Structure 1
Amino acid sequence: MRAPTASAQVDRFVHDRLPPREQWPQLHYELPELQLPPSFNLVAELLDRAPERGWGARPMLRSPRLTLTYAQAREQVDRICRVLVDDFGLMPGNRVLLRGGNSIAMALAWLAVVKTGGVAVATMPLLRARELGDIIDKAQPTLALCDDRLGEELELARRDRPVLREVVRFNAPGVAGSLESRAAQRSGEFTACPTSADDISMLAFTSGTTGKPKAAVHTHRDVLAACEAWPRHVLRATPDDIVVGSPPLAFTFGLGGLLVFPMWAGASVYFPDAPYTPESLVRTINEVGATICYTAPTFYRQAAPFARELGVGRLRISVSAGEGLPDATRQLWKEASGIEMLDGIGATEMFHIFISSAGDQVRRGAVGKVVPGYTARVVDDEGKEVPRGTVGKLAVVGPTGCKYLEEPRQADYVRDGWNYPGDAFVQDADGYFFYQARADDMIITAGYNVGGPEVEDALLKHPAVAECGVIGKPDDDRGMIVKAFCVLKAGHAGDAAMVKALQDHVKATIAPFKYPREIEFVAALPRTETGKLQRFKLRQQA
Structure 2
Amino acid sequence: MKHYEDNFAHDHLPPEDLQPDYIWDQEDFQFPENLNCVDRLLDDHIKNGRGNSIAIRTFEFTWTYQDLYEKSNQIAHILADDLGLVSGNRVMIRSANNPMFVACWFAILKAGGIVVATMPLLREKELSVMIESAEISHVLCDVRLIDALSEVKLPFLKQVCTFDGSDENSSELEKLMASKPTTFQNYHTLSNSLALIGFTSGTTGKPKMTAHYHKDVLLICEAFPKYSLQPKPEDIFTGSPPLGFTFGLGGMVLFPFYYGASTFLIEKPTPELLLKAFTEYKITICFTAPTAWRVITTLVKDYNISSLRKCVSAGETLPLKVWEDWYAATGLKIIDGIGSTEILHIFISSNEENMRKGATGLPIRGYEAKIVDETGNELPANESGRLAVRGITGCKYLNAPDKQKEYVENKWNITGDIFKKDEDGYFWFVARGDDMIISSGYNIAAIEVENVLLVHEDIAECAVVGLPNEERGMLVCAYIVLKDSAKANENMAKSIQDWFKVKAAPYKYPREIHFVEALPKTETGKIQRFKLKH
Q: Identify the TM-score tier after normalising by the shorter chain.
A: 0.7 to 0.9
1:409 aligns with 2:392: no
Write the distance in 2 (CA, Å) between the matches of 1:228 and 1:182.
36
- 1:209 Cα deviation (Å)? 9.8
Aligned counterpart for 1:28 among listed residues 23, 26, 29:
23
- Counterpart of 1:360? 353
- Counterpart of 2:426? 432
Distance 1:432 1:196, change over 3 A: same
Write the distance in 1 (CA, Å) between the matches of 2:150 and 2:415.
34
Q: Which moved more, 1:433-442 or 1:138-147?
A: 433-442
- 1:55 Cα deviation (Å)? 3.1
- Counterpart of 1:18? 13
- Counterpart of 2:234? 240
- Deviation per residue, 1:14-55 (Å, 9 max, x gap): 011111222111111111101111110010121111145553
- 1:207 Cα deviation (Å)? 2.9
Percent sequence identity over aligned pairs? 40
1:173-184 matches, cutoff 5 A: 178-184=172-178
Aligned counterpart for 1:372 among listed residues 365, 371, 382:
365
Distance 1:209 1:8, change over 3 A: closer
- 1:440 Cα deviation (Å)? 3.0
SS in 2 for 1:50: helix
Distance 1:276 1:362, change over 3 A: same
What TM-score, normalized by structure 2, do the two folds share?
0.81
Write the distance in 2 (CA, Å) between the matches of 1:83 and 1:93.
16
Aligned counterpart for 1:76 among listed residues 71, 74, 77:
71
1:103 aligns with 2:98: yes
Distance 1:176 1:287, change over 3 A: closer
- Counterpart of 2:112? 117
- Deviation per residue, 1:139-166 (Å, 9 max, x gap): 1111100001000001112x2x122121
Q: Is the 8 A contact 2:143 2:171 kept in 1?
A: no
- Counterpart of 1:252? 246
Q: Is the 8 A contact 2:212 2:396 kept in 1?
A: yes
In structure 2, what residue type is equivalent to 1:303?
I
Distance 1:119 1:429, change over 3 A: same
- Counterpart of 1:495? none
Distance 1:376 1:139, change over 3 A: same
In structure 1, what residue type is equivalent to 2:297?
A
In structure 1, what residue type is equivalent to 2:430?
Q
1:116-135 matches, cutoff 5 A: 116-135=111-130
SS in 2 for 1:421: strand
- Deviation per residue, 1:510-534 (Å, 9 max, x gap): xxxxxxxxxxxx999x999898999
Aligned counterpart for 1:350 among listed residues 343, 367, 374:
343
Distance 1:34 1:530, change over 3 A: farther
- 1:488 Cα deviation (Å)? 7.8
- Number of equivalent positions: 467
Q: Is the 8 A contact 1:174 1:181 kept in 2?
A: no
Write the distance in 1 (CA, Å) between the matches of 2:253 and 2:198.
15
- Deviation per residue, 1:383-420 (Å, 9 max, x gap): 11111111111111111000011123111101111101
In structure 2, what residue type is equivalent to 1:364?
K
In structure 1, what residue type is equivalent to 2:145?
L
- Counterpart of 2:216? 222
- Deviation per residue, 1:418-466 (Å, 9 max, x gap): 1011111111121111111112369xxxxxxxxx99xx9xxxxxxxxxx
- Counterpart of 2:323? 330
In structure 1, what residue type is equivalent to 2:235?
D
Q: Which blocks of at least 5 consecutive residues in structure 1 are unaligned? A: 1-5, 443-451, 457-468, 472-481, 490-521
Distance 1:179 1:410, change over 3 A: same
In structure 1, what residue type is equivalent to 2:308?
L
In structure 1, what residue type is equivalent to 2:417?
D
In structure 1, what residue type is equivalent to 2:358?
G
In structure 2, what residue type is equivalent to 1:296?
A
Distance 1:262 1:487, change over 3 A: closer
Write the distance in 2 (CA, Å) between the matches of 1:394 and 1:83.
44
Distance 1:387 1:299, change over 3 A: same
- Counterpart of 2:43? 48
1:292-311 matches, cutoff 5 A: 292-311=285-304
- Counterpart of 1:86? 81
- Deviation per residue, 1:73-100 (Å, 9 max, x gap): 1111111111110101211100101100
- Counterpart of 1:459? none
- 1:338 Cα deviation (Å)? 2.3
Distance 1:56 1:177, change over 3 A: closer
Distance 1:535 1:398, change over 3 A: farther
Distance 1:486 1:34, change over 3 A: closer
- Counterpart of 2:54? 59
Q: Is the 8 A contact 2:407 2:413 kept in 1?
A: yes
In structure 1, what residue type is equivalent to 2:31?
L
Q: Is the 8 A contact 1:423 1:437 kept in 2?
A: yes
Q: Which moved more, 1:249-258 or 1:179-188?
A: 179-188
- Counterpart of 2:271? 278
Q: Which blocks of at least 5 consecutive residues in structure 2 are unaligned? A: 447-464, 473-492, 515-528
Write the distance in 2 (CA, Å) between the matches of 1:337 and 1:483.
31
- Counterpart of 2:135? 140
Q: Is the 8 A contact 2:363 2:369 kept in 1?
A: yes
Q: Is the 8 A contact 2:228 2:352 kept in 1?
A: no
- Counterpart of 2:190? 196
